[in-house]
Amino acid sequence: MTITNIILILVVLAIGGYVIYYSIKKKQTAEVETQIDVDDKTYTIEKMIEFVKKRLDEITKINLYDIGLSEEELKRRKNKKYELKKALKGCTYGDVNDKKYVKELIFDLLEKEYGVTESNISKAIPFDIPSLLTAQDKFDILIYVYKKEFAYEALTELIKKYNLAELKYLNGETKPSYAITAHEIEEIYEKENVTLSFADKLAVVVQRIYQHYKGYSSIDEVRDMNIDGVSGGVSGLPESFLSQVAQTDGDYLNQVAEHKVPRACDSIWIFFQGKSIRLAFLSFGTEAELKRVCQNIYKYNNPGQLSDTNGYKINEMKDGSRVVVVRPSFSETWAFFVRKFDVKRSTLEQWFKGEVGSDESIELLKFLVKGARIISITGEQGCGKTTMLMGMIENIYETMNIRVQETAFELHLRKIYPTRNILTFRETETISGQEGLDVQKKTDGSVNIIGEVATDPVAAWMIQAAQVASKFTLFTHHAKTFPNLVTALRNSMLRIGQFNNEKTAEEQVVQVLNFDIHLTKDFRGKRYVERITECIPVEEKNEYTFDHRKEKTLEGKFDKFFDNATHYFEKVTDRKLYTYRNILEYVDGEYVITNPITENNLKEMRMNMDEADAEAFDKFVERHWGNQLRQTVEVNAEPVVNTPKRRGRRPKTEI
């Protein structure tokens, strides 16, 4: 045997040995870790987060073909690996089922691999010593306990039980505000006298680990609750301001460091039944954590990158919530706004809640929809326009196909009415709203719904859709009064260049618009229908005469000529294109039906109803306006209508 052969044999043996060693090593990393170095910090939240990240990374990245599995076991492991990868991705989009799956896996890893027991779990959160629990710890425990009984109504039940959504004075402030303080949470925790099993304690720890690993930090459980919305980064001092203060006011910076002055990362607000409530006991902890949440919360369906150049993103989450994220330098700090729409509660009945006159008001709204009237729903942000719109859609006849145009998917009508012919379009970076509307015209739509008329192009789509694209249209707008609504729509059409003349543009608006439902949210968060207003276009009359021909004198002819000239200039300069009047008002806590609907709208509404609804509508009209409708209403002048009195009060009508 030559030296060359010996060398070749040694090389082959070395390579074989290395392959065997590598395979054994890979197999070992796939097996459960049996030895964990234990010290005083082993069972802290930070250490457990590190362990969970490492184990889940190993599980998702391991090469299953290297560990010698049987075919059946290989297939099972591959399915499990794929399911975990899918869940880890889906849970960051707001999918509660994926979140549940990931939390269950973390629970098993901590209990079976990491060795968390009853004796050491209190090193993560001091469950056995209430005085050491922070307000956030106590809140997490309370939400967990309430969630076991009330599911996603947990936060609502907690707030209602202890009247937390009430105005209060904080830290010697002279003006009241809505806030839930750490002191209130501590008092509630004492009253509840919570007793937790080991499984309960571990579940709370798992939630804390999850929200810092894949969740949305301190708002993770709050976001899942059935509330109107949650936002962060919208109050407190931004980091840029703190760096400026550090150079001039050291004492003020010390107050910030001691958390006496809230920072932007301490800002967490919820929108609850029309009220913006600050959760003063919750915080993201650091600006970096707030930034992490902002960068993850909008990522569903890959809407594009949030960058300094593109400083905001509008998107929806997997559960249908609308999310808006902003960042510097577009905004002074990182911030997000999650708006939730509870489709199960979107009924007209929830708006009136048994108040005086509510039954007749609901009936009127139903007739307006069944009568195929073009209706705007107006009001400030958060007053419930989208929820009202969802409730009204229930009364559209089943035979009518519905087409929806939105900026971001919010209505989700197919979740409420899965058997109906409904299709929703939205703008994208490559498809404009106008293109979307053009496509809708070719999709057999009967009813066109525009989620929010907030920009000039959208206003033009609405007018266009109401004129030619559908049987009738429903839309929402932020106008405060009816004249404001007409003016805003008119100006939008002028700004985009669709019209050059104000009168012509306004005439298009009033010819299209039939009714406006105005919603109001008062100082204490109560939401109600303030009024329903009818738009009455003024028909142009020919008031010119040829009387000058009968005059014998030149002076007489001039007089007749100037009469015609006066009529002309009145039409050109100050011609009144519409009047308006309220047919329903909210007066002193009750709903009052006031002025009658004009004969023209009554006639068209009857034509669009089936026989049963038309008969019921005639009875409704006779019951409320029978005598008044027999009078002739002059629409060229201010309509004079005798408003029925209720308990000695006379509602003010807008004319």
Q: What is the mean pLDDT of the chain?
A: 82
Q: Determine the pLDDT at residue 338.
A: 93
Q: Give residue 165's domain range.
A: 129-195+216-343
Range list of H helices, 325-466: 349-352, 358-370, 385-393, 413-416, 433-440, 456-464
When mean pLDDT is compared across 84-88, 259-263, 454-458, 478-482, the lowest value belongs to 259-263
Give the sign of the dihedral formed by CA 595, CA 601, CA 605, CA 606. positive
**648 — pLDDT class (breaks 50, 70, 90):** very low
Model's pTM, two decimal places?
0.72
What integer pLDDT is reported at residue 630 of this predicted model?
59
Number of domains in the chain: 2
CB 654 within 8 A of CB 480: no
Among candidate residues 299, 325, 343, the one where a domain is terminated: 343
pLDDT at 371 over 70: yes
Question: Which carries the bigger pLDDT value, residue 523 or residue 520?
Answer: 520
Write the pLDDT tens digit of every residue in 541-556: 666 667 766 777 777 7
Looking at the structure, do residues 380 and 301 belong to the same domain, yes or no?
no
- d(C-alpha 404, C-alpha 440), whole Å: 9
Same structural domain, 305 and 158: yes
Q: What are phi and psi of 162, to 5 degrees?
A: -110, 15
HEC profile of 438-482 = HHHCCCCCCEEEECCCCCHHHHHHHHHHHHHHCCEEEEEECCCCH
Tell me 132's DSSP state.
Answer: G
Closest listed residue to residue 51, CA positions, set 64, 38, 63: 38
Which of these, 144, 271, 260, lies nearest to 199 by C-alpha position?
A: 144
pLDDT of residue 255: 54
**Residues 531, 451 share a domain:** yes
For the purposes of burial, counting CB atoms within 10 Å of the CB of 586, is it exposed (0-12), middle (13-18) or buried (19 or more)? Answer: buried
CA–CA distance, 22 with 66 (Å, rounded to integer): 10
| DSSP-assigned beta bridge partners for residue 537 | 578
Q: How far apart are CA 453 and CA 460, in angstroms?
A: 9
* pLDDT at residue number 569: 67
- Residue 298 covered by a domain: yes
Cα–Cα distance, 274 to 388 (Å, whole number): 14
CATH number for position 472: 3.40.50.300
Question: Given this model, what pLDDT does residue 644 score?
Answer: 43
Per-residue pLDDT averaged across 138-146, rounded?
95
Q: Which pLDDT tens digit goes with each residue over 312-351?
A: 998 888 888 889 999 988 998 999 999 887 655 567 877 7
Residue 567's contacts (CB-CB under 8 Å, 6 or more residues apart) are 543, 544
Find all residues with CB under 8 Å of 67, minimum gap 6, and list them: 26, 27, 30
Q: How many CB atoms lie within 10 A of CB 372?
A: 22
Residues 311, 402 within the same domain: no
Which of the four pLDDT bands, split at 50, 70 and 90, describes residue 168? confident
Indicate whether 363 and 441 sit together in one domain.
yes
pLDDT digits (tens, 9 = 90+) for 53-101: 999 988 888 777 777 777 888 888 888 888 888 999 888 888 899 999 9
526 and 587 in a common domain:
yes
Tokens 């109600």 correspond to what residue? 528
Contacts of 134 by beta carbon, 8 Å cutoff, 6+ apart: none
335-339 and 472-477: which strand pairing? unpaired
Considering the domain architecture, whether residues 481 and 375 belong to the same structural domain is answered as: yes
Structure confidence at residue 633 as a pLDDT band (50, 70, 90) = very low
Structure confidence at residue 223 (pLDDT):
93
